[in-house]
A and B are shown apart, each in its own frame.
Chain A
């Protein structure tokens, strides 16, 4: 097993797993407690437009997806709050619009679009060194923003109306949070792909919630879960020669199921025990 670590692609994969866990561990907690899973999924899928744009312009698709995902976040955040149609309908429309744009861009690109599948489904075993640096830079931005806005984000997620009354520009703060989610999605793309990103944003954070009632501890625990589980997933996918992104999600779901069932059983016993005692 240890000789594997000499391969640079394995080293890159582990580094990518750690960087991805940091981003999704911290931001996933906001996604889960503010219950904005659906809009986050929308931003992720709409970002495919940016991948297509990158191919069309002949640049690294990662450079297409950064501005495009930020734009999707701003448009979705604004339209879903301001438009007359229900928020989830607005998100659904923009979600598919972004994907459709991506498909048209890819179609219009002369020749063949290499690696298209890695953007859709991820492939952590082929992460280029450059993408690692990009992920590192985005991680720094994400951690920095959360450090600066910690008290504002907590207040926003807990009670948006009261936070507005306190004079905090909550509308802008919400858009900022969506933009940070967009950047997190970019960090996660190479690991699990656009289609599966939402699993990394929700499962570790939901798991961590079972162990603590403190937001910062939730972030730490979900980074830990994400890291350990994605490294396990990488190992399994290498050993069994199956796609890495999907393997990571399967392991995540499996662990979640175990923990949920385990806690349910413990709870059940606690309750019946209490009933039996006088």
Chain B
């Protein structure tokens, strides 16, 4: 069976600055939901870009489903970090979600019936189908986030990557998001990165810490030592609000 993700000794730098250092990660089916936490600037977005084939590591290898990222476009869904958005952009929810089908449709072809069905299903999954004709700027932040998730789902991915999907959402909307991911992880592997520790909720199956190096032990507990190494401060300062069973001191579960 092919591994969902197989990353071996990956190093990434911008200019002379090393951003990712000897990162290793293996995920096998069923992968469930992997939460990756780390401070701002820790390299979370960079890590996802490596997985997506947008950035080439200068050392190491990346394989998704046994293939390099460029060959697995139609298997990966991507929800980018919230960007400063052009709210006026003349595009509807429906048109946005259809762009998630491009890896299937192919160049220079019109969207097929199958594409439209997938887009419809994706919008229904996130309960946004009734808004399909809205211009993208005329939605609330939480609704827009769900549309971007639908765009990723329209690809029919086997691996879903989310970059800080919880930022900018109020606690209630965050909870809805996690419940949605909880449903989705039954059909696909999900990797969510976040700098917000409270997101490490009951829903994740595995946790990793990322700050230049990736600390990963294939479990849902984080050794306190890893957390302190990642954030470089005592755990009491950062683990505020984290369910206690997630943290684990001197237990050597790794």
Q: Interface on A for B, CB 8 Å cutoff?
A: 29, 33, 35, 148-149, 151-152, 154-155, 157-159, 161-168, 209, 212-215, 218
Contact = CB atoms under 8 A, between A and B. Distances in A.
Given A151-B102, A163-B99, A166-B99, A214 B92 contact: yes
Given A162-B151, A214-B92, 19 more contacts: A33-B89, A148-B108, A149-B108, A151-B102, A152-B107, A154-B99, A158-B99, A161-B54, A163-B102, A165-B52, A165-B54, A165-B73, A165-B78, A166-B103, A168-B102, A168-B107, A213-B137, A215-B90, A218-B90
Contacts of A214: 90, 92
When A and B form their complex, which 10 residue pairs have the shortest distance between CB atoms, in order from nearest? Answer: A213-B135, A167-B73, A166-B102, A155-B99, A166-B103, A167-B103, A215-B90, A213-B90, A165-B78, A165-B52
Interface in B132-175: 135, 137, 151, 155
Nearest to B104: A166
B89 A158 contact: yes
Nearest to B71: A167
Q: Which of A163, A167, A215, A218 has the most C-beta atoms of chain B within 10 angstroms of its own C-beta?
A: A167
Interface in B91-127: 91-92, 95-96, 98-100, 102-103, 105, 107-108, 110-111
B76 interface: yes
B interface SS class: mixed
A33 B96 CA distance: 15
B80 interface: yes
A165 to B, nearest CB: 5
A33 B70 CA distance: 28
Contacts, number: 70
B92 A213 contact: yes
A29 B86 CA distance: 15
Nearest to A152: B107
Given A148-B108, A151-B111, A167-B74, A162 B92 contact: no
B236 interface: no
Contacts of B53: 165
Contacts of B76: 165
A149 B102 CA distance: 12
Contacts of B54: 161, 164-165
B102 A33 contact: no
A47 to B, nearest CB: 28
Given A162-B151, A163-B102, A166-B103, A209 B90 contact: yes
B16 to A, nearest CB: 13
B100 A166 contact: yes
A212 B90 contact: yes
Contacts of B105: 151
Contacts of B80: 159, 161-162
A158 B102 contact: no
A209 B88 contact: yes
Nearest to A168: B102
Contacts of A213: 88, 90-92, 135, 137
A8 to B, nearest CB: 39
Contacts of B92: 213-214
Contacts of A158: 89, 91, 96, 99
Q: Which of B52, B54, B99 has the most C-beta atoms of chain A within 10 angstroms of its own C-beta?
A: B99
